[in-house]
Every structure is written in C-alpha cells, then in structure tokens.
C-alpha cells in the first residue's frame, strides 16, 4: 500500500498529456476532472489467514484477505460496491466517516436490513470529501473478526507535496478461529436490576448478554505482525505521508517514530494547521494523516503502546534505502514527550458558516458503565432502549459528553462531521471530526449541523461497549 508521489505525478501528467489538457496550467485552471464510476466487488466469506507471525486461523474477510482490499478513488468519483454475502449470518458495510446518503450507511435495522447469506447488495455514493477513511461491517462482532479495510479519497486538486505515502491500518487480533469473539466470555448473570433490564428487553437467555472484551494476542499493521510487517522504505530527504487508520475493536494506540517527530496534517479526513508531535494518540475509528521528513538515516521502528500504557506491541520498521539492515531502534516512551491533543489543533481553512448564539438544541450525553455492570450506557440507557435524539434539518446541534466511567470512549456520529467545541479558539477555527475520544471523567462538547436527513447511529467505537448498549440514534423530524 505504497505509492511514490513522484510516480503518481508522472502518471497523472501522462494522462493529462494524453487527454490534451494544458500541462503547465496551475491545478485550479484545469477544467473539473471527469467523474468516473469506480466499481468494486466484495465477497464476504470466512478464510484461513496468517498474520506472518503466530498460527493460521479462520477470519471473516472481504475477498479472502485481511484487511479488506483498499478502495482508492478521486474526490467526486462515484463508488459502487457490490457486496455478496457468503457468511453464515447477515452482514452490512458501513463507510466510516463519510457523510453518505442515509440508505447507504450500512447500519442493520437503522438504515437497512442486513444482507443475508447468498444475497447481494449494491452500495453507491459519491466520494466526498477527500481524506482517509475506513469501511467495516456494522453487524454483531464482525468488525473484530476481520471485516474492515481502508478507503482513501484523493483530492481532485492536490495541494500537498510529498514523496511517498503509506496507508497503515492498526489492528488488534485474537488469532483464533472466529477472531476477537473467540476469546470472550459472556458475563455471568447479574443482580436483580440487571435481570429486570433483561426481562424488559425480552432476553433471559445468555444470548444477548454483553461480552467481556477479549485479550488480544497481538497487533498488526495491514494484516502483518512484527517482525513480518512490511517495512516502510524511505530515502534520505523524502517527505513521507502516513495515513494512520485505527479499525481496531478495542485498542487505543500511542504511536511514536524513533528518531523522528511527526507532523499531523489531517484529523478524520479534515485538514488542520500542521502540529508537530512526538506521540500521536489514535482511538478506534479515528484517522490521522501525519508527515515526517526522512532526515535521520537508519533503521527505526514506528511503534505503539496499547492503551497508553504497557509494553510496545504494535511495531513497523522504517528503513532508509542503502542503510545496512541492523536491528531497528525502538522509540522510548518517557516523560516529557510532546503528545498532541485535540485542543492543540485548529482547522486549516476557517469555516465560512455564519455561527452566532447558542446551538438550536443541546443533548447531554452521560457515558457510564463498567465496574460492576455488564452494560455500557448513554444517559443510563441501553441500546435499543435508548433515547432518540430528535433534530430538524438546518439546526445546529450540541452533544455534551460527560464520561462518568473509568474507560475512554471514542464516540462516533454517523453521517456528519462535527466541530469540537474549544473555548480557546474562535468558532471558525474549531476542528471537524467524526470520532472523538472522551476520557474518563472528562467533559467534551461537539456541535454538528443537521444537514443530512435520516436516522443516524451514534455510539462508542469500542465494539464491545457498543454491543453492550452504548449507542443511540439521531433522528430528523420534518
């Protein structure tokens, strides 16, 4: 998953010459690129896989591979994916972060019926805006069984200049047949209150009882586990762009590249004023584009601490061409390193939206659970018995998160980007995101413009928290 930018530019130039566009005009002078329909065929099926280290096991896959095939298109293209289900249960695909039309959003029983075994469903939507995205199944625990992949939308008029680009999916794996759910246990029956809740939902069997999070066997990048991970080969002087995507089910990573700092340029597909950092924290469902300048020849590791503590487990070598292959140098996580936070970021292009006064609606969202409860809740309620957050088209809507639990929750809103409320910045510089980590005991507010009618899922992107109830639905009233 590597593209040399020089090669890419040469190819583009060749295409421009062939089509007779003026070659030396600046990009904005070119006529609008012709939009093309890009078709993909995805077959969801079980397959034997090996991550390069550890045993063979049976994962749930798109086209027999983990992660699924890369979708890479140009902004404005039409993406058409024909999904055929060869799994033993229903499935869907969700286009994480993309504000697609509601019927294409891939949430079972909210936007579509699951695609049942033997059936085919065609997803079709416009690729916009440019950026780094993930696609994944939104049914049961299929995400943690291997059903995810990268979706990259290149800008129609590139403004960035870099020499190399790598797309890196950061993955947590249970290397057992069936993936993550093969390592979980159902919670034992709880007290009277819990039983009351279950009875109300008509669920007295163990089925439907929340699962404990698995203990992961290892962490992979693009389906390869260190030392089998494919090294990133760079040359001295290169400007290197990394697209960092976290489709993991339950792992937050603190990433550091030994011998180099990272400059963050995009959060969840949206450009920000570049911020230099030593450590980059990325939660489930988040994407960051970051660059580094290859100015320190050697053999280095890009590595992560999982969950912000413990031993480095996710590792990928960064190797300079021509440097003798010696043991790569791992980053050292120590006090005093810079760790960029949401509050350090501001939008690269100020929004032109005229904003004034308070939001039209505000929804407090208290996040609780864990400790002695098998459920994870928003405002004390368990999906699907949770609130419906009613909005009207054109309104500015606030969500005020307050995390009452001891776990971080990466909260994700479908169908919209939201602004992260930051009192230290003018509103037009607030960053746009679609997933935001709310830390233990933290209060965070977001605001979104209700501009995409439909029923939209809103949930914690820890898969095991989501399945244990931490979700609700934003609905548009007419």
Contact residues for Cu ion, defined by CB under 5 A: 409, 460, 462, 465
* Whether 68 contacts 61, CB under 8 Å: yes
- DSSP letters of 264-316? EEEETTEEEEEEEESBEEE-TT-EEEEEEE--S-SEEEEEEEETTSSSEEEEE
In terms of CB distance, is 238 or 306 closer to Cu ion?
306
CB of 15 to Cu ion, least distance (A): 45
Residue 132 belongs to what H/E stretch? strand 131-136
When the beta carbons of 132 and 377 are compared against Cu ion, the nearer one is: 377
d(CA 117, CA 85): 5
**Of 62 and 148, which has the nearer Cβ to Cu ion?**
148
> Quick one: tokens of 267?
């959060």
For residue 133, the minimal CB distance to Cu ion (Å) is: 21
**Residue 295, token pair as written in the block:** 């100015």
Provide, rounded to whole angstroms, the least separation between the CB of residue 305 and Cu ion: 19
**Residue with smaller CB distance to Cu ion, 153 or 367:** 367
In the sheet that holds 409-413, the strands lie side by side as 388-392, 471-477, 455-460, 409-413, 435-438
Give the H or E element holding residue 198: helix 192-200
Rounded CA separation 245/134 (Å):
7
Shortest separation between residue 410's beta carbon and Cu ion, angstroms: 7
CB of 407: closest distance to Cu ion in angstroms?
Answer: 6
Residue 338 CB partners (closer than 8 Å, separation 6+) = 261, 276, 277, 278, 279
Closest CA to 243 of 321, 162, 301: 162
Looking at beta carbons, which pairs linking 44-50 to residues 24 or more positions away fall under 8 Å?
44/83, 44/84, 44/85, 44/86, 44/87, 44/91, 44/137, 44/147, 45/86, 45/87, 46/86, 46/87, 49/146, 49/223
Determine how many CB atoms are found less than 10 A away from the CB of residue 37.
10
Nearer to Cu ion among residue 381 and residue 409 (C-beta): 409
How many contiguous H segments (helices) and E segments (strands) does the chain have? 3, 31
**Beta carbon nearer to Cu ion, 61 or 368:** 368
Residue with Cβ nearer Cu ion (232 or 282)? 282
CB 34 within 8 A of CB 113: no
List CB contacts of 23: < 8 A, sequence separation 6 or more.
13, 16, 17
Work out how close the CB of 382 gets to Cu ion at its nearest, in angstroms, rounded to a whole number.
Answer: 13
Q: Confirm if 240 and 165 have CB atoms less than 8 A apart.
A: yes
In whole angstroms, how close is the CB of 409 to Cu ion at the nearest point? 3
Q: Is 342 helix (H, G, I), strand (E, B) or coil?
A: helix
- Judged by beta carbon, residue 303 or residue 460, the one nearer Cu ion is 460
The answer to whether 205 and 241 have CB atoms below 8 angstroms apart is: no
Please give the backbone phi and psi of residue 470, each rounded to the nearest 5 degrees, phi first: -80, 75
Query: Smallest distance from the beta carbon of 285 to Cu ion, in angstroms?
Result: 11
For residue 214, the minimal CB distance to Cu ion (Å) is 15
Nearer Cβ to Cu ion (232/438)? 438
Nearer to Cu ion, 409 or 416 (CB): 409
Closer CB to Cu ion, 419 or 461, in the complex? 461
Nearer to Cu ion, 365 or 462 (CB): 462
Least CB distance from residue 465 to Cu ion, whole Å? 3
Q: Report, in Å, the least distance between residue 284 CB and Cu ion.
A: 9
With H, G, I as helix, E, B as strand and everything else as coil, classify residue 464.
Answer: helix
Of the candidates 165, 278, 325, the one whose C-alpha atom is nearest the C-alpha of residue 232 is 165
Q: How far is the CB of 26 from Cu ion (least distance, A)?
A: 46
Are 241 and 166 spatial neighbours (Cβ–Cβ below 8 Å)? yes
């Amino acid at each position: 998953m590597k593209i040399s930018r020089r090669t890419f530019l040469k190819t583009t130039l060749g295409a421009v010459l062939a089509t007779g566009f003026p070659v030396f005009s600046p990009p904005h002078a070119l006529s609008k690129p012709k939009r093309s329909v890009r078709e993909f065929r995805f077959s969801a099926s079980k397959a034997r896989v090996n991550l390069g280290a550890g045993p063979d096991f049976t994962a749930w896959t798109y086209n027999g591979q983990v992660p699924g095939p890369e979708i890479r298109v140009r902004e404005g293209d039409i993406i058409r994916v024909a999904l055929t289900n060869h799994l033993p249960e229903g499935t869907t695909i969700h286009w994480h972060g993309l504000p697609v039309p509601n019927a294409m959003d891939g949430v079972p029983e909210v936007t579509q019926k699951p695609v049942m075994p033997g059936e085919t469903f065609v997803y079709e939507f416009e690729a916009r805006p440019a950026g780094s995205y993930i696609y994944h199944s939104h049914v049961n625990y299929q995400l943690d069984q291997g059903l995810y992949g990268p979706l990259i939308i290149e800008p129609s008029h590139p403004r960035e200049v870099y020499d190399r680009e790598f797309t890196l999916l950061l993955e947590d794996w249970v290397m057992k047949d069936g993936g993550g759910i093969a390592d979980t246990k159902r919670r034992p029956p709880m007290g009277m209150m819990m039983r009351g809740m279950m009875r109300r939902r008509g669920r007295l069997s163990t089925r439907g009882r929340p699962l404990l999070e698995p203990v992961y066997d290892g962490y992979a990048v693009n389906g390869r586990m260190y030392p089998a991970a494919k090294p990133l080969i760079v040359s001295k002087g290169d400007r290197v762009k990394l697209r960092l995507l976290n489709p993991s089910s339950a792992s937050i990573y603190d990433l550091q590249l030994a011998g180099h700092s990272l400059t963050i340029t995009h959060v969840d597909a949206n450009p920000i004023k570049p911020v230099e950092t030593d450590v980059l924290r990325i939660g489930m469902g988040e994407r960051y584009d970051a660059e580094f300048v290859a100015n320190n020849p050697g053999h280095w590791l890009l590595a992560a601490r999982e969950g912000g503590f413990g031993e480095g487990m996710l590792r990928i070598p960064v190797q300079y061409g021509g440097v003798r292959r010696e043991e790569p140098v791992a980053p050292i996580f120590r006090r005093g390193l810079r760790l960029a936070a949401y509050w350090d970021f501001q939008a690269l292009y100020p929004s032109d939206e005229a904003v004034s006064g308070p939001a039209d609606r505000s929804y407090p969202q208290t996040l609780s659970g864990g400790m002695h409860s098998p459920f994870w809740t928003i405002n004390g309620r368990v999906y699907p018995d949770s609130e419906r957050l009613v909005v009207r088209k054109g309104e500015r809507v606030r969500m005020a998160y307050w995390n009452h639990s001891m776990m971080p929750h990466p909260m994700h809103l479908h169908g919209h980007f939201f602004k992260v409320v930051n009192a230290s910045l003018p509103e037009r510089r607030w960053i746009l995101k679609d997933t935001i980590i709310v830390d233990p005991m933290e209060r965070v507010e977001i605001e979104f413009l209700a501009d995409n009618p439909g029923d939209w899922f809103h949930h914690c992107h820890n898969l095991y928290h989501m399945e244990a109830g931490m979700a609700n639905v934003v609905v548009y009233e007419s």
